[in-house]
């Protein structure tokens, strides 16, 4: 007889913060887990696009994309990437400025990423964007395929190696504008799962985050196995930056930050308005 009562399709990225957070849950280290997780591991832009089709029960998602999915999904309290000093950077080659790139092509790691949402909020709308995988953007800027690029994840730690400069820290811009931490990505659950199941999943993820932070070495091989091109130092910096107390529980401050982001995105007509509750 199976120990699991329910199958749950789960989407996460191979980025170190996600594999670190979900390691204990996916490896049977959380007592009382009654779910069998059917894992899809994809880059964040792919997960965003899968979200459009409501393809997964439980998934990591950019907060920008979640703005379009509030009728079908609800945000969990645990597992989020949200904080201060961790926002996307707008980089360019030396000699350029914000004024000089006003009409030029900016590479973004997906139209529905929070990075692009912040760019649109800051500029009042920048239509000349080119979507590409986040790990291609530094090279595209360095070779002048594009004038500037929005970088996220571990590329925040490596772009200087190509002698590029940061024009704006969009996380810093957001914090100065709102005094709130920046919500980057969260874990959302299909509303049709029902409140009891969703709350159980949220509790399992919370316990998985706590396990990872208490015993970071336990997930080392799993994290490294999905981040083979990254050095141990970059992996450590990545986890330290994106996994924090908000990842355990958004809390009042985190929930206010998410609401502020959606309020401003709705006011700017970047995402549709919704009357549905955001969070469980």
Q: Which residues are catalytic?
A: 153
Give SS3 for 138. helix
Q: Which two tokens stand for residue 154?
A: 């571990």
CA–CA gap between residue 134 and residue 156 (Å, rounded): 11
Residue 14 class from Cβ within 10 Å (0-12 exposed, 13-18 middle, 19+ buried)? middle
Burial 90-119 (b: 16+ CB within 10 A, else e): bbbeeebeeeebeeebbbbbbbbbbbbbbb
DSSP structure class, residue 32: T
CA angle, 171 then 100 then 138, to 5°: 55
Cα four-point dihedral sign 47, 48, 51, 52: negative
- 33 phi/psi in degrees, rounded to 5: -75, 125
Structure-token pair, residue 199: 């709350």
């Amino acid at each position: 007889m199976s120990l699991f009562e329910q199958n749950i399709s789960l989407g996460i990225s191979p980025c170190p913060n996600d594999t670190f957070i979900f390691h204990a849950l996916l490896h049977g280290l959380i007592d009382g887990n009654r779910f069998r997780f059917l894992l899809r591991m994809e880059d964040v832009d792919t997960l965003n696009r899968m979200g459009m089709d409501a393809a997964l029960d439980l998934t990591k998602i950019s907060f920008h994309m979640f703005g379009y999915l509030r009728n079908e999904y609800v945000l969990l309290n645990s597992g989020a990437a949200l904080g201060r000093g961790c926002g996307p950077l707008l980089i360019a080659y030396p000699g350029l400025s914000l004024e000089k790139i006003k009409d030029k092509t900016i590479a973004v790691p997906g139209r529905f990423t929070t990075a692009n949402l912040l760019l649109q909020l800051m500029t009042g709308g920048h239509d000349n964007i080119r979507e590409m995988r986040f790990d291609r953007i530094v090279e595209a800027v360095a070779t002048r395929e594009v004038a500037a690029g929005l970088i996220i994840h571990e590329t925040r730690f490596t772009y200087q190696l190509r002698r590029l400069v940061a024009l704006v820290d969009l996380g810093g811009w957001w914090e100065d504008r709102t005094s709130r931490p920046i919500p980057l990505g969260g874990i959302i659950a299909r509303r049709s799962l029902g409140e009891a199941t969703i709350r159980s999943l949220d509790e399992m993820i919370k316990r998985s985050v706590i396990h990872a932070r208490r015993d970071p070495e336990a997930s080392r091989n799993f994290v490294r196995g999905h981040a083979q091109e990254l050095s141990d130092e970059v992996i450590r910096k990545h986890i330290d930056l994106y996994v924090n107390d908000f990842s355990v529980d958004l809390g009042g401050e985190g929930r206010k930050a998410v609401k502020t982001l959606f309020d401003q995105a709705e006011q700017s007509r970047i995402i549709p308005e919704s009357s549905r509750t955001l969070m469980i």
